[in-house]
Chain A
Amino acid sequence: MLTSFTVKNYRLFDTLTIEPLARINLIAGKNNTGKTSLLEALWLYSGSTNPQLSVRVNAFREMEIFRLSASGIWDNLFRNFDPQHNIFMSATSKGTPEHELRISLEEITEVRIPVEDSGNGSAQAEQERSQIRYVITRPDGTQLDQTGRIEEDQIIFEGLGQAMIEAIFLPARMRTNPKVMAARLSHIEQRLEEHYLVSSMQVVEPRIHDIRTSSFGEVPVFQCRVTISGLEDRRVPLNTMGSGLFRFFELLLALSTSSGGLLLVDEIENGLHHSVMVKVWTALFQLATEFDVQVFATTHSFECIQAAYAALQDEPADALGLHRLEEKDGQVEVITYNADAIAGAVKYEIEVR
Chain B
Amino acid sequence: MERPPKDSPYQLIVEGPDDLFFFGEFQTQLLKAGLIPDRAYITELGGKDQTLELRKFLSGLIPRSKPVLGIGLIRDADHDPAATFTSVQSVLRQVDGLSVPTVIGKFKVDAARNLRVGVLIIPPDRPGIRETVCLDALAEHPIGPCVDAFVDCVSETGSIPYFENKPDYFKDKGRLLAYLAAQEHTDYRIGIALARGFIPWDHTAFDSFVRFFQGLTAGRGV
The interface of chain A, by Cβ under 8 A from chain B, is: 30, 324, 326, 335, 337-338, 340-353
Among B52-68, those with CB < 8 Å from A are 55-66
Among A30, A326, A344, A352, point to the contact of B56 (Cβ < 8 A): A344
Given contacts A350-B61, A352-B60, A353-B65, 4 further A-B contacts (CB under 8 A): A340-B60, A344-B59, A351-B7, A352-B64
Closest CB in chain A relative to B187 CB, distance in Å: 29
**How many A-B residue pairs lie within 8 Å, measured between CB atoms?**
59
Q: How many residues of B contact A (CB 8 A)?
A: 17
Closest CB in chain A relative to B84 CB, distance in Å: 22
Among A30, A326, A341, A353, point to the contact of B60 (Cβ < 8 A): A341
Judged by a CB distance under 8 angstroms, whether B155 is at the interface is: no
Closest CB in chain A relative to B18 CB, distance in Å: 19
- Residues of B within 8 Å of A326, CB to CB, are 65
Closest CB in chain A relative to B193 CB, distance in Å: 28
- Residues of A within 8 Å of B220, CB to CB, are none
Cα distance, A114 to B96, chains bound together (Å) = 68
Among B58, B60, B63, B66, point to the contact of A346 (Cβ < 8 A): B60
Name the CB-closest residue of A to B95: A340
In the complex, are the beta carbons of B59 and A338 less than 8 A apart? yes
Judged by a CB distance under 8 angstroms, whether B6 is at the interface is: yes
- Residues of A within 8 Å of B66, CB to CB, are 351
- Residues of B within 8 Å of A351, CB to CB, are 7, 64-66
Nearest 9 interchain pairs by C-beta: A344-B60, A345-B60, A344-B56, A340-B59, A341-B59, A335-B63, A343-B56, A344-B57, A350-B60
Cα distance, A338 to B55, chains bound together (Å) = 11
In the complex, are the beta carbons of A324 and B63 less than 8 A apart? yes
Name the CB-closest residue of A to B68: A350
Cα distance, A322 to B95, chains bound together (Å) = 17
Known: A348-B43, A349-B6, A351-B7. A324 touches B65 (CB 8 A): yes
- Residues of A within 8 Å of B55, CB to CB, are 340, 344
Known: A338-B96, A348-B43, A351-B7. A343 touches B65 (CB 8 A): no
Cα distance, A345 to B6, chains bound together (Å) = 12
Cα distance, A350 to B95, chains bound together (Å) = 16
In the complex, are the beta carbons of A350 and B56 less than 8 A apart? no
In the complex, are the beta carbons of A352 and B57 less than 8 A apart? no
Interface hub of A324, A338, A340, A344 (most chain B Cβ within 10 A): A344
In the complex, are the beta carbons of A343 and B63 less than 8 A apart? no
Name the CB-closest residue of B to A345: B60
Name the CB-closest residue of B to A335: B63
Known: A347-B56, A348-B43, A348-B57. A341 touches B7 (CB 8 A): no
Interface hub of B55, B61, B65 (most chain A Cβ within 10 A): B65
- Residues of B within 8 Å of A348, CB to CB, are 43, 56-57, 60-61
Closest CB in chain A relative to B63 CB, distance in Å: 5
- Residues of B within 8 Å of A343, CB to CB, are 56, 59-60
In the complex, are the beta carbons of A340 and B56 less than 8 A apart? yes
- Residues of A within 8 Å of B61, CB to CB, are 344-345, 348, 350
- Residues of B within 8 Å of A337, CB to CB, are 59-60, 63
Cα distance, A349 to B56, chains bound together (Å) = 12
Cα distance, A337 to B56, chains bound together (Å) = 11
Closest CB in chain A relative to B54 CB, distance in Å: 9
Closest CB in chain A relative to B151 CB, distance in Å: 37
Among B25-59, those with CB < 8 Å from A are 43, 55-59
- Residues of A within 8 Å of B43, CB to CB, are 348
Q: List 11 A-B contacts (CB under 8 A).
A: A324-B63, A340-B95, A341-B60, A341-B96, A343-B59, A344-B55, A345-B64, A348-B60, A350-B6, A350-B60, A353-B65
Cα distance, A217 to B58, chains bound together (Å) = 58
- Residues of A within 8 Å of B59, CB to CB, are 337-338, 340-341, 343-344
Name the CB-closest residue of A to B43: A348
- Residues of B within 8 Å of A340, CB to CB, are 55-56, 59-60, 95
Cα distance, A349 to B65, chains bound together (Å) = 12
Name the CB-closest residue of A to B63: A335
Name the CB-closest residue of B to A343: B56
